[in-house]
Amino acid sequence: MNLKHILLISSIVFSPLLWADKLNDLKLRAEQGDVSAQTDLGVEYILGIDIPRDYLAAYKLLIPAAQKGNKLAQYNLGLMYDLGEGMAVDKQSAAKWFTKSAEQGDEPAQFKLGLMFAHGDGVVRHYEEAFKWFHKAAEQGHTLAQVNLALMYVRGAGVEKNLEEAYKWFKASAEKGDVIAQYHLGLSYFEGEGVKKDLGEAYFWLALASAQGDHYAQHLMNELEPDLSAKELTRLQKKASEWRSKL
């Protein structure tokens, strides 16, 4: 399974016999033009878990659903073009379908479109557009959009530099476990940028990032340790361990 796919499908886990009935029902409804069935079956063919992977079959199912305005079909069709699954990579077509889906409020599509505008991938690089789409996805709770939005506020890319807003979005993403956000949130507390300087909070968030393998976080933790008492270090390490166990 390609982990880049976000599973936008409504089916649930079935026993083999029940799944066979479900599959037959999906195929019948898809042939009758049911866009939800076309989308679900198309994604099943992409994933190739319960049925053999077949990108051509997936494409033939997703195209009519996408053309009829189904935002999940549009997003998954965009992914096929973006990743070159069963076809040549076509970033412009990917951007076209991500745009259609994003305009209907699909947050993964909004995030992907933000990335494309940020990097000039399939579209002309446009930081204001990247900021717009990251912001829309971030407001819906998309973790990676939140950290990318925060970085744009830090750099003043596509928006006026605003470290308080950057802190807000780093925190939102870090609390959901994003390692990049955790590092930057720790750095914000360490340097007192966008938030009052707090070495204890800096150490806590850096410890979380370090536990996920961030070497820069570990380096900053080493710098911080002489400024914190042994009792405080023990407390913060315990807090970080308990916090990780809840994710």
Q: Is pLDDT at 12 greater than 60 in this prediction?
A: no
Tell me how far apart the alpha carbons of residues 246 and 26 are, in angstroms, rounded to a whole number.
37
Please give the structure tokens belonging to residue 129. 């557009």
Query: Which residues 6+ apart lie within 8 Å of 211 measured at CB?
Result: 240, 244
pLDDT at 18: 55
Is the Cα dihedral 91, 93, 96, 98 positive or negative?
negative
CB atoms within 10 A of CB 124: 8
What pLDDT, in 10s, does the model give residues 161-208? 999 999 999 999 999 999 999 999 999 999 999 999 999 999 999 999
Q: Is the pLDDT score of 10 beyond 50?
A: no
> How much is the mean pLDDT over the chain?
92
> Which among 55, 28, 24 is positioned nearest to 42, based on CA atoms?
55
**How many CB atoms lie under 10 A from the CB of residue 27?**
15
Query: Looking at residue 21, what is its pLDDT?
Result: 81
* Distance in angstroms (rounded) separating the CA atoms of residues 86 and 54: 8
> Closest Cα partner for 63 from 80, 49, 48?
80
How many angstroms separate the CA atoms of 134 and 111, rounded? 6
Q: What is the pLDDT of residue 103?
A: 98
Q: How far apart are CA 127 and CA 177, in angstroms?
A: 26
Q: Is the pLDDT of residue 8 over 60?
A: no
Predicted confidence (pLDDT) per residue in 14-71, tens digit: 445 456 788 889 899 999 999 999 999 999 999 998 889 999 999 999 999 999 999 9
- Among 168, 141, 152, CA closest to 118: 152
Are 92 and 130 in contact by the 8 Å Cβ rule? The answer is: no
